[in-house]
């Protein structure tokens, strides 16, 4: 016989833009609301695309949330009986968010976060690798490539219809006016220094 197990873990929902991360987070929140769990939802203040406070998906689904600037503000809203903490756009938070998620899970809370795994350059987005590593459960979603229809795993940033440059700033809040979902083969980054890494492999010297 097993003894009663302890609650508390981290769930990460990740993937490119338009993959349905926010919709999946909202779905999980709704299910837990039916189970009468006490939930608090957060998002970074910087994400004011569709609403100042609420978490809103690209298709308009929404849930009430607190918009905060720093991850440690989570504690200002945590009453003792909160059982579930949900965070959308987690990639925008400071490093501390990883330790806070870890701490909350250790305290028996169910921590559910959604965030981009890669930036527009196709490189790991800030704290996401650390979060994915320590999470118990990771769900990677795909969108549909806007060029060829394949499963999309990358986010294409466009400036006046052209691929953004590798050296452009990583953080740029936006939606379909400047981003689209793409597969690896259709994803383009102007000036990406990939050749120097690939050449030795191509030449069989790696």
Ligand X SMILES: Cc1cn([C@H]2C[C@H](O)[C@@H](COP(=O)(O)O)O2)c(=O)[nH]c1=O
Ligand Y SMILES: Nc1ncnc2c1ncn2[C@@H]1O[C@H](COP(=O)(O)OP(=O)(O)O)[C@@H](O)[C@H]1O
Binding site, annotated residues for ATP: 15-22, 88-91
Tokens representing 181 are: 């979902």
Determine, following the binding rule CB under 6 A, whether residue 146 of this chain makes contact with ligand Y. Answer: yes
| Using rule CB under 6 A, residue 17 touches ligand Y | yes
User: Which of ligand Y, ligand X, Zn ion, none sits in contact with 144, Cβ below 5 to 8 A by type?
Assistant: ligand Y
Binding residues for ligand Y, how many (CB under 6 A)? 15
What phi, psi does 170 have (nearest 5°)? -70, -40
Active-site choice (24, 89, 96, 136): 89
Distance CA 147, CA 182 (A): 7
According to the binding rule CB under 6 A, does residue 159 interact with ligand X?
no
How far is the C-alpha of 108 from the C-alpha of 101, rounded, in Å?
A: 11
Site for ligand X in 50-109 (CB under 6 A): 89
Is residue 180 at the binding interface for ligand X, with CB under 6 A as the rule? no
Task: Determine whether 45 is exposed, middle or buried from the number of CB atoms within 10 Å of its CB (0-12, 13-18, 19+).
Answer: middle
What is the C-alpha to C-alpha distance for residues 82 and 102, in angstroms, rounded to an integer?
A: 16
Other beta carbons within 10 Å of 46: 13
Q: Is 113 in the site for ligand Y (CB under 6 A)?
A: no
Respond yes or no: is residue 89 known to be catalytic. Answer: yes
Q: Residue 107 corresponds to which tokens in the numbers above?
A: 């305290």
Q: Which residues are catalytic?
A: 89
Sites of contact with ligand X (CB under 6 A): 17, 21-22, 47, 49, 89, 116, 119-120, 155, 170-174, 179
Sites of contact with ligand Y (CB under 6 A): 15, 17-23, 57-59, 143-144, 146, 181
């Amino acid at each position: 016989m097993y003894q009663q197990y302890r609650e508390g873990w981290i769930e990460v929902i990740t993937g490119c833009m338009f993959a349905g991360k926010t919709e999946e987070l909202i779905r999980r929140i709704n299910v837990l609301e039916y189970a009468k769990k006490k939930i608090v939802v957060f998002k970074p203040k910087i994400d004011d695309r569709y609403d100042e406070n609420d978490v809103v998906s690209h298709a308009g689904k929404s849930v009430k949330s607190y918009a905060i600037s720093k991850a440690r503000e989570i504690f200002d809203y945590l009453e003792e009986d909160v059982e579930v903490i949900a965070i959308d756009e987690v990639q925008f938070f400071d490093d501390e968010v990883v330790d806070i998620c870890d701490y909350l899970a250790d305290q028996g809370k169910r921590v559910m976060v959604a965030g981009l795994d890669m930036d527009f350059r196709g490189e790991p987005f800030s704290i996401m690798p650390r979060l994915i590593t320590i999470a118990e459960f990771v769900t990677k979603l795909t969108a549909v490539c806007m060029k060829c229809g394949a499963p999309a795993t990358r986010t294409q940033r466009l400036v006046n219809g052209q691929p953004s440059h590798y050296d452009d700033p990583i953080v740029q809040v936006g939606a379909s006016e400047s981003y689209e979902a793409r597969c690896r083969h259709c994803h383009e980054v102007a000036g990406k220094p990939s050749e120097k890494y690939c050449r030795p492999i191509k030449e069989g010297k790696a």
